[in-house]
Amino acid sequence: MSSFEQQPGSLQRLLPTDPSTIAGYRLLGRLGAGGMGVVYLGRTDTGELAAVKVTHSDQAEDPDFRARFRREVETARQVSSPWAVPVTAADPDAPEPWLATAFVPGPSLAEAIAAHGPLPTRSARLLGSAIARALAAVHTAGLVHRDVKPGNVLLAVDGPRLIDFGIARTTGDTALTATDVVVGTPGFLAPEQAEARGAEIGPPSDVFALGCLLVYTVTGRLPFGAGAVDALLYRTVHDDPDLSGIEDDLATLLGACLAKDPRQRPTAGQLAERLVEDAPLGADWLPADVIRTIAERSARMLALPDIEETRAPTAQAAPDRRKLLLGAAAVVLAAGGGWGVWAALGGGEDGNKAGPSPRKRQHVIGVQADLTGPQQAMGIEQERGARLAVEAYNTREDKPFPLQLEVVDDAGNTAEAATVGRRLAEDRDVLAVLGSTGDYTTQAALPAFNEASTALMTVSAGLNLLTRGTPPNPAIIRTCPSHPIASSQLAYLLQSYFLQGKVTDPVPGLLQDREDDSYAWQYITMINHTMRTLYGYRCHPRVVPAGIDAYEPIIKGMLAAGIDAFVHGGLLPSAVHCARALADAGFEGPRVGGPYLLTPEFIRQAGKAAEGWVVAAPVLDPLVHSPAKRFTAAYRKRYGTAPRYYAGESYDAVSMMIDEVVRAARGSTRPEPSAVLTALRKKTFDGVMGTYQFDAAGDLKNPRTQLYVVEGGRFNRVMAAPAKDPGKG
């Protein structure tokens, strides 16, 4: 039940509609919520903490759901391992079925790698051995986990823990033999799972997934790459894994785990022994920065507010929960966590001084942007648009409270994006955040915002997996089209051109520059698919390796194939090479590029070869968009220059946030970020750059890609790309 994931770093206050107790558990706060129900942090009379999963009443009325919930309880209870989080209590037959598991305050492996980067080989071996032993216990019980992934491994000072048996099955379960049903997380699926070969799915499938997980643990990348799900599944079935950068003996072992034939993989028990012959997991099994994160999570649990008693106290008082978690903190200190960790746990410099008094709560809108990196021009515009929105609000006489703007620079770097994103997400005063500028910085920061239930609204990141990944990302809201949507609208544009020109047998040329493989793949694959399946065209795709400069032979080959139009999917340098090569060859057909070309640098570097190019981007020009006239004037007054692309959309995004922050506060001192997030996803907003409304995944409804043509050395907007197949009216 992926929508029940434990989220220890994002404890939220109980809502007025939440119960104060469930069975023998006093509820301290919310750990997470999803379509299936709510996960609470609970405490027993003896002081033990637990993650208590409670289903929504409407789910409980579904007999099939109740049966699945009962199966999860039964499945998890069959597994006995120190490395698997145990079920401590459950009632599948309650009016609202619930189960409780031991609470682990540490981050997931996915969060740790996003925040701190890949783990050292020694840590990865120790982690892999422990999880392999947990899987051996799963398999001994006659079960298959089927969803081994970084999000289902929690990190503690004494070792990792495997969680979530929601889709586990017995090896003889008929559900395993179902065809055409892919269950699990792409990127961590075995070939037999990717192809839904149900009869072949068994314990070796979990070993394959663990191999993928360990590759990710030591490299920060998946062995079969990233990108759209269908491409990822195809590579899993047909391609060799990428094991570069991994120590030779470990790479050999992981290669055996990733064998296409399940019979050639080691068992979980064999894998555990080959990873580490004897696996003592001391407090130093993880790097110091990850241990520090675990300590900080424990510190937040120590800082929980007391709860009011709703029944008479027993003769024996429950232990102080501080004592329950100080054991973990002491281990951290022994491992060299130092004064900084002790301070985080509430002690002073000498261990006795009181910490600083709590500061007054504030209302803050966050901005995470690339202000000094490769996309700094775009990031600066986004920060300026956000600042104008906050300043406009603060001039209102009827404002219920002032707002502050907290701006962080991730420099277009994914590791920095994860770090500064977590800082914003964990700041108790930040109510919603605009960011990030790029695809991969947004992806790196997003786990922290998911965990904190804080809205992360992007106006420029089009990566499909941000909103369509598995599991879903509940915190993301996107005001621009995804790359596949934008490229499908480009395909409609080309079809309109061919229809108007009465081209009977067109051959679109499609160039995919692998310098940014995921973006280019999504762009070109969608256009290729649309052209072939909807219109039956003979597309001529060409995939170009990253880092090459000799584009003339490539362009000559595409022209020799008789292409009638040229579509570039990639970054600025290759687009400049292509523009020059096409101009030298005298090609006058449509030349189209994506959003990375909407920059003066394309015109400057390509020179006259840029003339006539059409650039598709998810943004309007505020200088020619009449509803943005007042915004443009305010921008000029504030910054002494005209606004550029993305400033207006950023102004609208932050104005939306402010609208819901004020509404959610309803006269109180501070609304909950989760309430702002929920309201934003359901919101319809008329801004200076357009109307915004979002679907269940957080994507903009009815998105439109804008088209600009280079004329006279500048970009001129010509139209919005068709939003539907022009051949169908």
Q: What is the pLDDT of residues 125-176, one digit of tens each?
A: 999 999 999 999 888 888 888 889 998 899 988 889 998 764 444 444 434 3
Which residues contact residue 405 at a Cβ distance below 8 angstroms, ignoring those fewer than 6 apart? 364, 365, 366, 367, 386, 387, 390
Write down the residue that tokens 């107790």 correspond to: 21
Q: Which domain-ending residue is among 85, 103, 121?
A: 103
Residue 454 belongs to some domain of the structure:
yes
> Angle 32-34-38 (CA atoms, 0-180°, nearest 5)?
50
Q: For the chain, what is the radius of gyration of the CA atoms?
A: 27
Compute the distance between CA of residue 2 and CA of residue 6 in angstroms, rounded to an integer: 9
Write down the residue that tokens 């973006």 correspond to: 519
Please give the backbone phi and psi of residue 569, each rounded to the nearest 5 degrees, phi first: -115, 105
Please give the backbone phi and psi of residue 381, each rounded to the nearest 5 degrees, phi first: -65, -40
Residue 642 belongs to some domain of the structure:
yes
Same domain, 659 and 714: no
Same domain, 496 and 599: yes
Q: 338: alpha, beta or left, given left = phi > 0 and alpha = psi -120 to 50? A: left
564 is catalytic: no
Instruction: Give the neighbor-by-neighbor strand order of the sheet with 98-102.
Output: 21-22, 25-33, 37-43, 49-55, 98-102, 87-91
Provide the domain count of the chain: 4
* Coil, strand or helix at 480: coil
CATH number of the CATH domain containing 99: 3.30.200.20
Same domain, 715 and 660: no
CATH number of the CATH domain containing 661: 3.40.50.2300
Same domain, 236 and 278: yes
Q: Which domain-ending residue is among 103, 118, 146?
A: 103
Helix axes 109-116, 414-426, angle to 10 degrees: 120
Residue 6 belongs to some domain of the structure:
yes
Compute the distance between CA of residue 271 and CA of residue 129 in angstroms, rounded to an integer: 7
- Dihedral sign of CA atoms 580, 581, 585, 588 in order: negative
DSSP string, 248-297: HHHHHHHHHHT-SSGGGSPPHHHHHHHH-SS----TTSS-HHHHHHHHHH
Compute the distance between CA of residue 219 and CA of residue 120 in angstroms, rounded to an integer: 9
pLDDT of residue 46: 74
Which residues contact residue 337 at a Cβ distance below 8 angstroms, ignoring those fewer than 6 apart? 288, 291, 292, 295
Compute the distance between CA of residue 243 and CA of residue 254 in angstroms, rounded to an integer: 8
Rounded mean pLDDT for each run of 10 residues along the chain, 729 residues in total: 45 80 86 74 82 76 75 75 85 85 86 90 94 91 86 89 63 42 73 83 94 95 83 87 92 96 95 76 80 76 47 38 41 36 31 40 88 92 96 92 92 92 91 95 94 95 86 91 88 78 81 88 86 85 86 94 93 95 94 92 96 92 92 94 95 96 76 92 94 94 90 89 62
Same domain, 222 and 130: yes
Residue 679 belongs to some domain of the structure:
yes
Same domain, 416 and 493: no
Residue 473 belongs to some domain of the structure:
yes
Same domain, 272 and 144: yes
Question: What CA–CA distances, in Å, run from 187 to 106, 177, 723?
Answer: 24, 21, 31
Residue 164 belongs to some domain of the structure:
yes
* Coil, strand or helix at 546: coil
Residue 283 belongs to some domain of the structure:
yes
Same domain, 720 and 589: yes
pLDDT of residue 250: 95
Catalytic residue among 45, 64, 147, 249: 147
Listed as own residue / partner, the contacts of 197-204 with beta carbons closer than 8 Å and 24 or more positions apart are 200/262, 201/144, 201/146, 201/176, 202/144, 202/171, 202/176, 202/262, 203/135, 203/138, 203/139, 203/144, 203/171, 203/267, 203/268, 204/262, 204/263, 204/265, 204/267
Write down the residue that tokens 């746990």 correspond to: 345
Residue 320 belongs to some domain of the structure:
no
Compute the distance between CA of residue 210 and CA of residue 631 in angstroms, rounded to an integer: 52
Compute the distance between CA of residue 539 and CA of residue 212 in angstroms, rounded to an integer: 34
Same domain, 551 and 612: yes
- Host H or E run for residue 22: strand 21-22
Q: Which domain-ending residue is among 248, 267, 289?
A: 289
Domain that holds residue 133: 104-289
DSSP 99: E
Compute the distance between CA of residue 100 and CA of residue 53 in angstroms, rounded to an integer: 6
Helix axes 673-681, 647-665, angle to 10 degrees: 120
Strand-pairing partners, residue 451, are: none
651-683, pLDDT tens digit by residue?
999 999 999 999 888 755 678 899 999 999 999
Write down the residue that tokens 């999963």 correspond to: 53
Q: HSE, CB side, 13 Å, CA atoms: give it for residue 532.
A: 12
pLDDT of residue 726: 60
Which residues contact residue 476 at a Cβ distance below 8 angstroms, ignoring those fewer than 6 apart? 442, 446, 449, 456, 457, 458, 466, 467, 698
Strand-pairing partners, residue 100, are: 52, 89
Write down the residue that tokens 């919310």 correspond to: 30
Compute the distance between CA of residue 699 and CA of residue 692 in angstroms, rounded to an integer: 10
Please count the other Cβ atoms lying within 10 Å of the Cβ belonging to residue 21.
13
Q: How far apart are the first and last CA of the chain?
A: 42
Compute the distance between CA of residue 274 and CA of residue 284 in angstroms, rounded to an integer: 21
Same domain, 650 and 660: yes
pLDDT of residue 161: 92
Same domain, 572 and 503: yes
Compute the distance between CA of residue 421 and CA of residue 369 in angstroms, rounded to an integer: 10
Compute the distance between CA of residue 538 and CA of residue 536 in angstroms, rounded to an integer: 7
Same domain, 561 and 645: no
The pTM of this model reads 0.55
CATH number of the CATH domain containing 264: 1.10.510.10
